[in-house]
Amino acid sequence: MNNTIIGHNLLIELKREAQKKRLAGGNIYADKIVSDIFTNAEDIVHKNVVRKDKQINWSQKADNILTSKITGYPIMLLTLGAILWITISGANVPSAILADVLFRFQDVLTGIFMYLGAPDWLHGVLVLGAYRSLAWVVSVMLPPMAIFFPLFTLLEDLGYLPRVSFNLDHIFKKAKACGKQSLTMCMGFGCNAAGVISCRIIDSPRERLIAILTNNFVPCNGRFPTLIAIGMIFGAGNLALHLQSAAVAGIITGMILIGIAVTFIVSWTLSRTLLKGEASSMVLELPPYRRPKILAVLYRSFIDRTIFVLRRAVLVALPAGAITWLVSNVYVGEISILAHTANFLDPVALAIGLDGFILLAFILGLPANEIVFPILIMSYLSSGYMIELDSLTDLQILLVNNGWTWLTALCTMLFCLLHWPCATTLLTALKETGSKKWSFLTFLIPTGVAFLVCFIVAQSARLLGLAP
């Protein structure tokens, strides 16, 4: 009996001593032990194994460049920038053609309604509301998606994404989060709800929660086209056409980098406050590079992603367009219900560089982020400035007429990037965490960050006299 008690005291003392050593050494032991074991393994292999394997050598060389500390990051940035540039410069023309065709068909529809003598409100709800927002969703969002998704899927198929994960691992480690979080972020590019589900691959509950809480900071399918659309309409100003695409690609790349930076900052903060703990190590197997199967890539990106997202957008856009038209055409006193609400939101919205309509569009967009921009256009269109819109240039005029400056565009993009996740993502977070508290934080943290960042940007720009 005595023996066990002595043993027990000794154990406690030992634990304390080890902890002291760990803290004094800056907590590097766990990492060092893992990398030392690998060094031993490499050493043994080096002595006893001879490889004449050409394919391995080739992929090793590629890995040395793609995952090098010096060239890894620039290549990642360039790849992202290049994909966005192709997307934006490629989407311009089809977007314009689609808008042209779809709005010409709107005139046909209007003609039919007039011929049949349909009442004005019916024409308003169905054509000016439902059809027009559908037309906007398709013409603004379809072309970028149809170009971006195949390119992204191509990278996935090549085996580049695990390398990205590898590159980002040590930054995540600094934030005391799991390196696999970058894989869940890649999923988030597709859909944040899917991103939240994919957090299951992270084994430590602490790190999994961090990944769930921050997944929203990568722009999903629904928000990405909004960013691109605003970037295309507004970002490049009066630059020459070929420079425009590059400038917009630069802006969007910047947005994604901001999202990633915020992910790190929030993860870092969470690891030191609500979710204290150490990062765990993991083995990431880099799969061999493969020649992508072009047909499979096209199928996956068109059917699984483009059509899926578009379908969801259309399904939500139709009723949302109709409802938006209604609330903006039902008047209480002098102005419409929509304008009343927007006016109510105006003081808060202006403080963070938006206006009441923009904030309202984000709130109405809670069911699906895809419809934020169409709702916004609808509310501007039905609130006085009834100009005929049939191209992206007209869209810019509409926004400028409604008081948009470069600061409005920037703050709208930032808010779009950082604000609360869509309802589906929130429900998924509830299902995955099983906790109301954590799901509420999934809503609260991005919302807080979005308001804070936009407030700081808007106020400093105004203080410096850069924008009205």
Q: Which residues sit at the interface with other proteins, rule CB under 8 A?
A: 3, 7, 10-11, 13-15, 17-19, 21-22, 25, 27, 29-30, 32-34, 36-38, 40-42, 44-45, 47-56, 203-204, 278, 280-283, 285
Which amino acid would we find at residue 234? F
User: For the CA atoms of the chain, what is the radius of gyration?
Assistant: 26
Which residues make Cβ contacts (< 8 Å) with residue 152, sequence separation at least 6?
A: 83, 189, 301
To other proteins, the closest distance from the beta carbon of 10 in angstroms equals 6
Nearer to other proteins by Cβ, of 21 and 170: the residue is: 21
CB of 347 to other proteins, least distance (A): 50
Which residue's CB is nearer to other proteins, number 172 or number 443?
172
Q: How far is the CB of 420 from other proteins (least distance, A)?
A: 32
Q: Which amino acid, residue 439? A: S
**Nearest distance from C-beta of residue 409 to other proteins, angstroms:** 45
Tell me if residue 335 falls in helix, strand or coil: strand
Q: How far is CA 418 from CA 272, 434, 454, in A?
A: 21, 24, 9
Of the chain, the end-to-end C-alpha distance in Å amounts to 80
Report d(CA 203, CA 106) in Å as an integer: 53
> How many CB atoms neighbour CB 464 within 10 A?
8
| Residue 61 Cβ vs other proteins, minimum distance, rounded to whole Å | 16
Q: How many CA atoms lie within 13 A of 173 on its CB side?
A: 13
In the complex, minimum distance from the CB of residue 16 to other proteins, in angstroms, rounded to a whole number: 10
Nearer of residues 28 and 348 to other proteins, judged by Cβ: 28
Alpha helices in 217-304 (DSSP H): 224-230, 241-272, 294-299
Structure tokens at 24: 């004094």
Q: Residue 297 CB, nearest distance to other proteins (Å)? A: 25
Give the nearer residue to other proteins in terms of CB position, either 57 or 71: 57
Nearest approach, Cβ of residue 176 and other proteins (Å): 13
For other proteins, the closer of residues 33 and 239 by Cβ is 33
Rounded Cα–Cα distance for residues 446 and 372 (Å)? 17
Strand partners, 336: 331
> How many residues in the chain?
468
Q: Which is nearer to other proteins, 3 or 238 (CB)?
A: 3
Q: Which of these, 133, 137, 139, 136, lies nearest to 328 by C-alpha position?
A: 133
Give the helix ranges, DSSP H, for 191-240. Answer: 192-198, 205-214, 224-230
- Cβ atoms of 214 and 358 within 8 Å: the answer is no
What tokens does 139 get? 């013409």
Q: How far is the CB of 51 from other proteins (least distance, A)?
A: 5
In the complex with other proteins, the residue whose CB is nearer, 183 or 232, is 183
Q: Convert 24-39 to b/e letters by CB count within 10 Å (16 or more is b).
A: eeeeeeeeeeeeeeee
Of 52 and 437, which CB lies nearer to other proteins in the complex structure? 52
Nearer to other proteins, 34 or 387 (CB): 34
Closest approach of other proteins to the CB of residue 58, in Å: 13
Task: Report how far residue 36's alpha carbon sits from residue 133's, in angstroms, rounded to the nearest whole number.
Answer: 59
Tokens representing 144 are 């970028």
CB of 43 to other proteins, least distance (A): 8
CA nearest to 419, candidates 154, 226, 285, 231: 226
Comparing CB distances to other proteins, the nearer of 23 and 241 is 23
Whether the CB-CB separation of 137 and 371 falls below 8 Å is answered with yes
Nearer to other proteins, 37 or 243 (CB): 37
Cα distances from 29 to residues 34, 169, 203, 292, 309, in angstroms, run 9, 17, 21, 40, 46
Min separation Cβ 28 and other proteins, Å: 8
Which lies closer to other proteins via its Cβ, residue 288 or residue 347? 288
